[in-house]
Structure 1
Amino acid sequence: MTLRRFSQFLALALAVLTWWVLISRPDVIDPEFAVALHVTFAVVVLVVFALAFLVLRFASGGSAAYWSTKRTDQVRPIVWMILAELAVTLAASVILHQMGRADPASQYIVFLLAGTLVPAAFLQFGLITWPSRSGYPGMLRLFLISAFALCIAAAWTWAAYSRAPAGSELPPVLDLVVSMGAVIIGATLEEVIFRVLLLTALLDRSGSRFNAVFLSSVAFGLMHVPGALADPALHGDFAYLPQVAFEYAPQFIMQTMLGLVLGLLWLRTGSITLIALTHAIMNVGNVLAFGLLSYG
């Protein structure tokens, strides 16, 4: 299957998932008008996705490439690297659970260590290649895109923080500093993996900016799914897994959309600092409102 066909399949799957999430919400479908409402939601989802992909096609257009490995064989080893990182994280989570240490802080430290050491090992042993600079954006372009992205990120995180439970308070200053440092490091690690490495490799292989952004964004969303399902699985509550998956589906869709935005920023600026900072700012609101493991 070509990357183009794979993108089309994933786009259809994402649209179907969105439609399912919409019609499955409580009190959305009136049994008396079930067929009409199912069809209406399907049409709405198709129209929204069509418009979204037109915007993505336009936004990802052009030919400027700021990073490249000048190789077309990097996608497969990078996918193996991501799977290895995921396997290490889940294995460590199982061990922590067996030791009675599966608290949020310990699990997040495991995420940071796996996200650092596994890619470092793949790079050190030459299994993957770090891309090299092949160009720079103009200063005006970089300034305007950065200002727009950071304003959107600030608005996003404010909206997330506004959903904090009533009566919640900010953590102590030291805890806050540690949490913010962890958020910045975590965001940087994810941007290096999914934008700097994976998106660049997809672009080198396919030559399609659209497919590179879309596929790396879906991979970014999928990477978070096992973590969401890990807790009931570790506790042996497998009957609860479908409910957890159902409740997590909207978040997966939002993480994929976030991946599209960050992918476009990387494509348009080639700035690691900008995508890492934008990602970190977007996560701050959730971390302050709901704790470290709300990070995405």
Structure 2
Amino acid sequence: GKKSLIKQNQFRYFKNRYKIEDAIINNNIDVIYEIPGYSIDRLKWIGKIEYFVQAPRNVIFLGFNNRITPFRDKRLRQAVLKAINIPPLVLNVNRGNAIIARGPLPAAFFQYNSLTQDGFNVKESVKLLKQAGYKDGLTANLIFPSMAFTRSSLVNIIQSDLDKVNIRLNIIKTKTWEEHNRLVKSDSCQLFISGGFPEIVGDMEGMLRDFFYSKSPFNLLGYENNRVDKWLDKAKIEMDPDKRNKFLSLAVEQILKDTPAVFLYHVKPHFAFNREKIKKLVVDPYGIIQYHRLELK
């Protein structure tokens, strides 16, 4: 192939997201990795910024501690799901930088067909709360990663929606991912914000196994369903693609019925670059910029 015209790459780390925006505006940097929605909305008006946009391969969700009360009760989990108005939440948090989740897997890698989680319905939410014995509502701890910039607005919107059905959140902020993961695994956690993506792009079996297989060390939800375990075990060894997808479809369908989490959105990774200097940016499916294939103007 063509020899790269780039002799040297210089990487810079910014703790402050706004300083990153200033740097590309002032020509101090030429490429930004996976920028959040609020930056996309602002930078697009500058005139010299172009974006490389990938199909989403991740999911952000509101997780329940399925191991202990109160959210061992599926009716309460469904009450929370029906109390959250997800479409406007996704728009306000991500500014068009995400796709509304229908379930745990991005549609780009898995055809849901008719499979989707239940939608917004306040009356049904209140009804389910009463059926579960919480007619006066309840208070629940939510573990929130304060180091994740966009999730502060996310948790505020969730809190506002749940307040309307008298589900009150006690928000516990964590400062590091180590602290966050430790608290999520503890009994003090009842709700938490999290997300993930598959290790192998295009193959969702591993992602489902990480989050929803009962014996997985990454199953922070404490979710257990023998049928889901069985279908994931079969999918792991099945060589026929159609049969394998059928097992995965059955697993997703059961997961949506059980509501171990509220699936919120799939982020569309955006890579910003200075189009006055760069003609073409190439990014592989794992989000790694291929600098040897980058074309300069």
- Name the TM-score class by shorter chain: under 0.3
> Could you state the TM-score of these two structures normalised by the residue count of structure 2?
0.23
Pick the structure with more helix per residue. 1
Pick the structure with more strand per residue. 2
